Every structure is written in C-alpha cells, then in structure tokens.
Structure 1
Amino acid sequence: MSAEKILILGPSWVGDMVLAHSLFQTLKTQRPNAIIDVAAPAWTLPLIARMPEINRGIALPFKHGQLALLDRVKFGLSLKEQGYTQSITLVNSLKSAILPLAAGIPQRTGFLGECRYGLLNDIRPLDKAKLPRTVDRFVALSADKNQAPMENNASIPNPRLIADHNNALQALSKLGQNAPTTKVLGLCPGAEYGEAKRWPAEYYAEVANAALSHGWQVWLFGSDKDLPVTQEINQLTSNRCLDLGGKTKLGDAIDLMSLCDTVISNDSGLMHVAAALDKKVIAIYGSSDPHHTPPMHPEAVVAYLGLSCSPCFKRVCPLTGPDAHLACLKRLTPPSIIQDIKFLA
C-alpha cells in the first residue's frame, strides 16, 4: 500500500505558520509514514525549510487577497500527478479551497469557513469555545473525522524550528560581525498589524540600555517596514545595538535569533519564531489576546495588563487623550520588563 501523501494549504502570516508546526508534528506522530507537503506564500518557505517533518514547501504564486480563480484551478491541476490522498486547509477563505478540488485530492479537510460546501468534503465543526487558540484549531484538523479533537491540553506539541548555525555565522560575517562572545538580547519592536501592537520605541531603548550596561549585546530584528523603529531605538542607545532592521531575509533572521539568549517581542511572527527556537521569550501584548495566540513555550513570560478596553483587536488605539491612548502598552513600563530578564542569572 502506498504511503499517505498530505497537502497542507498553509497560512500567510509568519506567526500562524509557526503555530502550524504543532499540526505537522501531530500528523507525523499519528501517521509516521505520511509524506507532508505545504503549499503557502513564498515568504513562508524559510520557516517550512526549518521544520523536519515537511517533505517539500510549495510556493503559491497568488497575491494576497487575489481570487485568481483560473490561476488557482491551473495550479491545482498541475499538482494532480502528485497523488495526494488528503488536503488540510488551514485558511478559512473560499479561494483557498479551490486548489485541492482542482488537484483531485479525494479527502479535502478543513473548517467550513466561507461556505465551502462541495469544495471541501471533510468539513469539521469549529467550536471556538472548545478550541480557543489558533494552535488548537490547527491541531484539531489532524484528527480522524470520527475522532474527538484534542482540546487545549498538554498533548499538543510546541512548535520547534531547527536553526542553521553555520548560516547564522555566515550572515553575521556578511554584516561585518563576529560570533557573539557575550549574552545577546534580541528585540523585535515591529508588528505588521499596526501600532496598537507596538510597545513604544523609547521603552525598548530603555531595556536595551540596561542590557548594554550589563555587558550584553543587543540585536534589533525587523523587516524593511520596521527600519524606522529599529533606527530610533539604536539612536537612543548611542548606536550601540546591532540594527538588523531591513538587513536580513526571514531565513537569516531565524538563524541569527537562535544565537540570542533572551528575546523581547511584540505579539508578532518573530515572537512565535523565538518561542519555537526555545529562547526565553518576553511577549508584550497590547490590542491582541494572549489567550488566542500565546507564545508556545512553557517558560514564556507574557506581559499583558488586561485593561477593561483590552483586547480591542484594533490596528490603531481607538481611545484618545494622554491617559487613555495606548494605555495597554504604555502602562507596561520598562522596569517591569527588565526584572524578567534576570541579567545576572
């Protein structure tokens, strides 16, 4: 009998793709001989490459939000000869379910989402109360259709990424840097979703200065979009940080982060990367909900005030006035974060 071959239609967000690794591990535990491929946007492939359970990452050529019905059908048809026995669609959109149908995959699993009757033929009920976290929902799709899914318990494996140490050293060399000889604090001050997720730059700078005063190195991680904030933090530390903002691709950032001892991050994709690299993570939450997308690490520290207005899930704080605007973040003062780093431990 030929081995099962599963095609995962993966999420677009970096953080969600990291969380999906719990599903991939669960599938491999349940079905050790299964071959698992993941189809997702090209920018997620460096994550997939660091997940040993995955046979192949397939870059989807579609633009974000684009229906591209004919192109999706053609792409699905191009995968027909791969012989997939099951697809699992982690995205709840209508368009994400077109490709598995076109590929002729006999069992097409997913939540109902946007009225996907016919596109999916193995539709699972989504009880958000029983499956409160994103990771719970992903892993629930691994269960046989007649089996009760795991519900938010310790049997769900934490994501884990396998970093490439040699690539990290090569990336440092390209930046004119040597391997660190002291402890490294990684700071991730960006959050693509919006400012309501971003701890103030001056707060990050205060923490950075504290780390530098204890002889640590401080590395600033971020994409091109985060360059203004990483530059601001570096300026506030007299340019004593290694500013990686906009200077690394995702794969290099993952490997460089593996050299850090502690990572402080907003609720972002890099926060989940740090947790999956088994780093000590201090995760800062403002407008989002740590009960929905927590860092998946047993020793992660979650900094969250849980104000009456939180979580609002807004990109920009809807409140005005100096005492109200971004209070969920501004009232999380640097000393409260610094004490969790334990520089002298």
Structure 2
Amino acid sequence: MNILIIGPSWVGDMVMAQTLFQCLQQRHPGCAIDVLAPEWSRPILERMPEVRQTLSFPLGHGVLEIATRRKIGKGLSGQYDQAILLPNSLKSALVPFFAGIPKRTGWKGELRYGLLNDIRVLDKQLYPLMIERFMALAFEPGAELPKPYPRPSLQIDPASRDAALAKFGLGLDRPVLALCPGAEFGEAKRWPAEHYAKVAELKIREGWQVWLFGSKNDHPGGEELRLRLIPGLREECTNLAGRTSLAEAIDLLSCAGAVVANDSGLMHVAAALNRPLVAVYGSTSPEFTPPLAEHVEIVSLGLDCSPCFDRTCRFGHYNCLRELKPRPVVEALDRLLGVPVEVQ
C-alpha cells in the first residue's frame, strides 16, 4: 500500500506527525509512506524510519497557485492508494485531488467537500490531543485509538553528528545543557533571557557547558542571554542559533545531557530525541501539544489569564513567563538529572 501524507507547516507538528506514520505501519505493515512537505522538513523526515521519502513542496505557507498544485498533482498520478491530509486548509486538498488518489482522507476543513472523499468530522472531546487527531486518520472514523500511544523517535546517524561537532568546534568533555530560548509563534511563548541566563550560570558553575539553539531570528536573543553571563562563564556558552542547519541542530541536540526549552518546535525535537527536558509554558498549554517523552518536566504558573494562545500578551505584562522564576526550572532539572539518561 502506498500512502501520500500532506505534511504540516510547523516543526513541532511535523515531529508529532510521526505518531501517525507509526500507526500506519502498524495497521498496514510494510506500507510505503511518502510525505509532501516544505523542504525545510526534510531533516526531520529523514530521521523517521517509517518514511520512505520526502517530496519537496515548493510553495510557501498560504500561497495558492492552483496551476502549480495541479502540475504537482498530475506528476503524482497513479502512484498512491491513499492520501492523508494533516492541514485543514482547502489548499492542502488540491494536490491529492489533482493526482486522482482513490482515497483522500482528512478532517472537515475549509470547503473541502468533493476534494476529499473520506472526510472526518472532529470530536474534540474524543480526540483532545493533536497527536490523537493525527493518529485517528490512520483508522476508521470514531475508532478507539490503541494504547499506549506511540511517541516520536528521531534516529541519529553518529557520523552526521560527529561532522556537526567538528564543524562548530564542539566537544563532549563536559556535559551539555541545551537551551532553546526562542519560539517562532511569538513573544508570549518566550521565557525571558535573564531567566535562561540564571539557569545557564548555575549549570556552568557546576561544570556544564551551554549550547544555545534556535533560528536566525533567535540569534540576537541568544547573544543577549550570553552577554548576561560574567566573563569567565560567558566563554562556556556557545550561541548556535541561526548558525546551524536544522539537520545540524537535531544532531547536536542529541548530545545534550539536558534541555530547557519554550513550547516550540525544538522542544518537540528534544523530546523525540529522548533528552531530559524541562518545558516552559506561558501562553499555551501542554493539554494539547505536550512534549512526548519519558524524561520530561513541565513548568508553568497556571495564571488565570493563561493559556490565552495569543502571540503577544493582551495585557502587556507577560506575567505568565516573567513571574516564572528560574528556581522551579532548576529544581525540575535537578529532578530529571537524578535519573541517568544515556546520550545517544
């Protein structure tokens, strides 16, 4: 059985989509799963053994360009038995339709009647978690999902990891604390740099080194964090944000003895690498998209105004993050580090 997945547009969602791939392989052993997704997602999908190949989708998020979608669809004609769509947009349903894929499965979304012929109506009470909404598309409508749920698990190639360590002149002579202080969604997901710096200072004094991860947009925030450290400690903190490819970031994160991250794509990557992880939540909630791993501590204040799911604080104070001081994060780290976890 050949299955085409129309992939999501966010790093964290792509990581969580592996739960669907795992369910498909359980239900249809040996099925071939191809994922049509933005090129940036290739390093994630290449580290999922359930995926046969990644098909690069050339259009940016929100771009319609029906002619291009028709051309892509016609090029895939006759190759697949089923298409499963993870986005809920009308645009995402066009390629499978133009490809003439016999079974086109997805949740009811933007006017997709006719484009989908296996259309599902979402019961949010039955499937409150995002992974449940992904996994359910592998089964018949309304099915009870088999438990325990699978967890994302990214596979690392040691040679690729060693090449990344060499490229950035990094060593593993001391344990690594990885900090992921960014969040593409917005400021309301970002724990303040001064709080991250306090955690970094403490671990460096304990003999750790600190690596900062993120996108190009996160590099200035990483520098702000690093410059808050006094000389002598600052040299033990390496700002990799914006310097690595996503593939290199994944491989280097696999070296971490512990990770502290906002609710972000890199948080889900760290969980899928089974790194001891402290996840800091402010405006969002772990009730929908929690990190899916064994060695996880979630830290949140749970204020009355949160979760609001806004990109910026409607009150302007960001208290759900500013008032979340370093101590509970450090205590969570200490609890996690009391249980040894091997670096992959």
Residues 24, 53 of structure 1: 8 Å contact kept: yes
Which 5+ residue runs of structure 2 have no aligned equivalent?
A: 339-344
Tell me how far 1:47 sits from its aligned partner. 0.2
Identity %: 49
1:90-239 correspondence runs (5 A): 90-145=86-141, 148-150=143-145, 154-178=147-171, 180-237=172-229, 238=231, 239=234
Give distance in 2, aligned partners of 1:144 and 1:154.
16
1:262-273 correspondence runs (5 A): 262-273=258-269
Partner of 2:298: 302
Partner of 1:311: 307
Residues 139, 156 of structure 1: 8 Å contact kept: no
Tell me how far 1:332 sits from its aligned partner. 1.3
Give me the CA root mean square deviation. Answer: 1.3
CA displacement, residues 129-179 of structure 1 (integer Å, 9 cap, x when unaligned): 21111111000100034x6142xx74220110001222122112111233x
Residue aligned with 2:5, SS? strand
Residues 26, 156 of structure 1: 8 Å contact kept: no
CA displacement, residues 294-342 of structure 1 (integer Å, 9 cap, x when unaligned): 001133111112111011111111114xxxx111111211011111112
1:76 counterpart = 2:73: yes
For normalisation by structure 2, the TM-score amounts to 0.94
Give distance in 2, aligned partners of 1:267 and 1:312.
14
Residues 188, 266 of structure 1: 8 Å contact kept: yes
Tell me how far 1:30 sits from its aligned partner. 1.1
1:18 counterpart = 2:47: no
1:251-266 correspondence runs (5 A): 251-266=247-262
Residue aligned with 1:168, SS? helix
CA displacement, residues 186-218 of structure 1 (integer Å, 9 cap, x when unaligned): 000000011000000000000000000000111
CA displacement, residues 36-64 of structure 1 (integer Å, 9 cap, x when unaligned): 00010111111000000100000100111
Give distance in 2, aligned partners of 1:188 and 1:165.
22
Partner of 2:36: 39
Partner of 1:249: 245
Q: Which amino acid aligns with 1:318?
A: R
Residue aligned with 1:186, SS? strand
For normalisation by structure 1, the TM-score amounts to 0.94
Give distance in 1, aligned partners of 2:323 and 2:294.
25
Give distance in 1, aligned partners of 2:250 and 2:144.
31
